[in-house]
Amino acid sequence: MGGWRVKAKEAITQVSITARFLCLLHFTNNYLFSPTLVYGPSMLPTLNLTGDIVLSEHFSHRLGRVRAGDLVLLRLPVDPAKIAVKRIVAMEGDRVTFFDSNASDLLQTLVVPKGHVWIQGDNLYASRDSRHFGPVPYGLIQGRAFLRNCSSWKMQMIQGYNRIMMYGHFPALDHWNNEHNGN
């Protein structure tokens, strides 16, 4: 008669341990860190076409600590069910000059509105980004990518602003460069 009580107590203990583990996993994945598989041509050469696993943290954007040059995970404004990885090129109040693909490749200039960021892929020729759908509300940012795999056993820190400057000049980042270089 006492055997079923012992088994019931063991089962309750296992359920309790599993529930605590799942709560910890949920908290870690949504509020601290999470791995994400990223693939496609829009972030070449920073990320691989065939896919990289990036580790992103989920607290910088909540604290207002993402900056121009950061790689972020965000919900696409044209399809909020999809998560994309893009680079922040400009923050609110920054002036952005870009070729508007919607207006026959005319050169456009705008100021990023309050509460928004301007995002672009590193591969400008294969990226759907703010040049196509405009500034992105800050609230769509889900996390900041900071680590990626470069092989099955090796991880690499994702570079920010300096990585952008290796592949091209972004006028929207001039003020950032001036602030951080003492100009």
Q: Which residues contact 44 (CB under 8 A, 6 or more apart)?
A: 122, 123, 126
3-state class of 10 per DSSP? helix
Catalytic residue among 56, 86, 127, 130: 86
Please give the C-alpha separations between residue 55 and each of 65, 144, 158, in angstroms, as whole numbers. 17, 8, 10
CA–CA gap between residue 164 and residue 7 (Å, rounded): 60
Catalytic residue among 7, 9, 34, 42: 42
| CA gap 125, 121 in Å, rounded | 9
Is 86 among the catalytic positions? yes
151 belongs to the catalytic site = no
Strands 95-100 and 52-57: what pairing?
unpaired
Residues catalogued as catalytic? 42, 86
